Chains A and B, each alone.
Chain A
């Protein structure tokens, strides 16, 4: 466990990763920024300078500013005040980067996790994809809305248990 008085001269990159596991997505707080694949890199150079690289999920995602602030606040709890946060656009974020653990947490939270990519992300018009209800596991589901409350989600309905649920879209 990292003590709360660490400074960057004594901390390791691995320890920074474990601290940042505690930074959550502000709207889906069961996911950490590592689960989500938003945290791309932690770099500590010889002089003790810490650089953290994050990538936005969508160009317009308003959570990025909040996530940057949360990273600073969390590191401050561990006595780390000097940090540079870089927003990197390339390579572009994809739901393939979401960890298996993250997908499990999503399902438990009531959001269907993204399907593996090969199945979807097609350009075909009027296509539908099979999504499993996270509540009763039925595959008898129908699309309500291609866009949900946030850009990354679509809304589905289970025709068996009638639950309306979010699907974290493949991207």
Chain B
């Protein structure tokens, strides 16, 4: 009876677009869905630092080195925001990290692809960050307060990344023939995986329905994917690059670009752990965590000593 009443009040708030705050009552399933989604998002930021971080030492100019360092720092900062937002739901960061390391929690599969040339940095900014923004902008209005507020700031910073990625590709495309070829090759490799970032077709998506009702999610996978294709197809013209899809063409009737079939087998293989870099990424995260254990222990030990000394002085 009480639960029924609480659930009604909760859904009324959602319907009235009132944000749910950490101390409000919420259905357990809502809490779990949010924890899963926010922590997955946080893990994606952290794992996503690896393929880009690998190019900091090789960045071709001081300016690009700065931009890349700042970008990866941004991602770490976003990870931190998001872990903190998830913590308001009653899970600790250590628990979330343990779930990542055990394979229980997922992260965006896109980061299981390798970064092979410098142009991949531009392609990631343009396509991967572009797709991420497409997915994330609606989250600025998501029903959970701390998540929506975190997403507003994350999205602004991500837009800056996308712009920098596009600009970096533009410079390559206006450069030598070799540089332009490098940019085209990066686009060829990153295009299809970025389309997969929107998840399975709506008809095959399992978590969507409740998320839509609770306004955690506001647009379907296919809607967002279409928006992304429409945007990138136009931007590619500015760069003078060709999207690697012979079926891509403007459909006057629909007012959208038609595009070819996504290789879902590849998608499920990568999600299932068989992508080119799944093992490397997870191993790198685990190693950093294990190698850092003594550092974290020392910090705790010192903080305790310092607190004890302070208490002794006060006494």
Residues on A facing B (Cβ under 8 Å)? 26-29, 60-63, 65-66, 109-111, 126, 135, 144-145, 147-151, 153, 155, 157, 161-164, 166
Given contacts A60-B69, A66-B164, contact A148 B77 (CB under 8 A): yes
The answer to whether B66 touches A60, judged by C-beta atoms less than 8 angstroms apart, is yes
The answer to whether B146 touches A162, judged by C-beta atoms less than 8 angstroms apart, is yes
A-side contacts of B152, CB under 8 Å: 109-110
B-side contacts of A164, CB under 8 Å: 80-81, 84-85, 87-88, 146, 150
Whose C-beta in chain B lies nearest to the C-beta of A65? B63
Judged by DSSP, the binding face of B is helix
Whose C-beta in chain A lies nearest to the C-beta of B306? A126
Complex Cα distance, B152 from A147, in Å, reads 19
Contacts A62-B67, A149-B73 known; 16 new A-B pairs at CB < 8 A: A27-B156, A27-B157, A28-B156, A29-B156, A61-B70, A63-B160, A66-B160, A66-B163, A109-B153, A144-B84, A147-B77, A149-B74, A149-B80, A155-B84, A161-B22, A164-B84
Complex Cα distance, B155 from A27, in Å, reads 9
Complex Cα distance, B83 from A155, in Å, reads 12
B76 at the interface (CB under 8 A from A): yes
Given contacts A26-B163, A27-B160, A166-B153, contact A62 B146 (CB under 8 A): no
Judged by DSSP, the binding face of A is loop
Complex Cα distance, B163 from A150, in Å, reads 17
Whose C-beta in chain B lies nearest to the C-beta of A156? B84
5 CB-based A-B contacts, threshold 8 Å? A60-B70, A111-B153, A144-B84, A149-B75, A149-B80
Complex Cα distance, B155 from A26, in Å, reads 11
Residues on B facing A (Cβ under 8 Å)? 21-23, 63, 66-67, 69-71, 73-78, 80-81, 84-85, 87-88, 146, 149-150, 152-153, 156-157, 160, 163-164, 306
Complex Cα distance, B152 from A29, in Å, reads 11
Complex Cα distance, B22 from A152, in Å, reads 28
* Min C-beta distance of A45 to chain B, whole Å: 30
Complex Cα distance, B75 from A148, in Å, reads 10
Complex Cα distance, B13 from A76, in Å, reads 47
Complex Cα distance, B161 from A150, in Å, reads 13
* Min C-beta distance of A146 to chain B, whole Å: 12
Complex Cα distance, B59 from A170, in Å, reads 31
B-side contacts of A144, CB under 8 Å: 80, 84
Neighbour of B77 across the interface among A109, A155, A163, CB < 8 A: A155
Neighbour of A161 across the interface among B21, B67, B69, B71, CB < 8 A: B21
Given contacts A29-B156, A60-B69, contact A149 B22 (CB under 8 A): no
* Min C-beta distance of B153 to chain A, whole Å: 7
* Min C-beta distance of A60 to chain B, whole Å: 5
Complex Cα distance, B269 from A11, in Å, reads 62
